[in-house]
Amino acid sequence: MEGAILAGGSGRRMGGLAKGLLPFEGAPLIRTIASRMAARCNRVSLIVASDKQAEEFAMLKLPTRLDFLPGSGPLSALHSALTGAEEPLVWVSACDMPFVSPQAASWMAGRLAESGANAVVPFVHGRLHPLQAVYRSDCSVYTRECIDRGERRMMKLLEAIRPLVAEESELKEVGIDLSFVTNINTPEDYDRIVPGYRMG
């Protein structure tokens, strides 16, 4: 399995800050996420929306690729992650999820292998989390189809992929901490996760 971190968002709700560079456990958040992913992945890449972002993240020294259609949202970033993959399975994560879990990813990859599904997407706290999920790299057929139709919505992509859904109860049963889908969107979210770190 390989890892892909989508890091090309604009972070508007965070005041335009690059969320992936927020300090977390003594390192930029993306570094913490990448080292956790490296526990299960032979390679972890970053997918960004512009050369400027690629430069901004260059000090992380991760293989970096551009979106298929730069800046047109996570679906085109996911397409780039899948087409650039060297392995049949891709663990995808947003860059703002501090508690990514190798245990959860392994479990999802195992379910994928057993079931023959195209992808495994967790359904936690009442919603699907397609940016913390495991996909077969050949799901690029579906991402491309959506892009060609001008479709940008991840939920429309999921309708086409028909992933196996990892239910909250199943995840809990195998002892997976549901915080692996927690993400940081606002200064308040960050402050909750890194107490005492007051944003401007």
Ligand X SMILES: Nc1nc2c(ncn2[C@@H]2O[C@H](COP(=O)(O)OP(=O)(O)OP(=O)(O)O)[C@@H](O)[C@H]2O)c(=O)[nH]1
DSSP string, 92-122: EEETT-TT--HHHHHHHHHHHHHH--SEEEE
Q: Closest distance between ligand X and the C-beta of residue 16, in Å? A: 8
CB 25 within 8 A of CB 35: no
Q: How many residues bind ligand X (CB under 6 A)?
A: 24
Binding residue ranges: 6-8, 19, 67, 96
Q: Binding residue for ligand X (CB under 6 A) from 131, 139, 147, 154?
A: 131
Angle, alpha carbons 70-71-75 (nearest 5°)? 90
Pick the piece of the chain touching ligand X (CB under 6 A) from 36-44, 65-73, 138-146, 187-195.
65-73
Q: Does 94 bind ligand X (CB under 6 A)?
A: yes
Pick the piece of the chain touching ligand X (CB under 6 A) from 30-38, 67-75, 104-112, 137-145.
67-75
Q: Closest distance between ligand X and the C-beta of residue 107, in Å? A: 22
Q: Binding residue for ligand X (CB under 6 A) from 71, 102, 111, 160?
A: 71
Provide the residue count of the chain: 200
Calpha distance 174→138 (Å, rounded): 28
Binding residue ranges for Mg(2+): 96
User: If DSSP codes are grouped into helix, strand and coil, which group holds residue 129?
Assistant: coil
Q: From 72, 47, 74, select the one nearest 130 (Cα to Cα).
A: 74
Calpha distance 93→9 (Å, rounded): 13
Q: Closest distance between ligand X and the C-beta of residue 46, in Å? A: 8
Q: Closest distance between ligand X and the C-beta of residue 55, in Å? A: 15
Residues that bind ligand X (CB under 6 A): 6-14, 19, 47-49, 67, 71-74, 77, 94-96, 131, 185
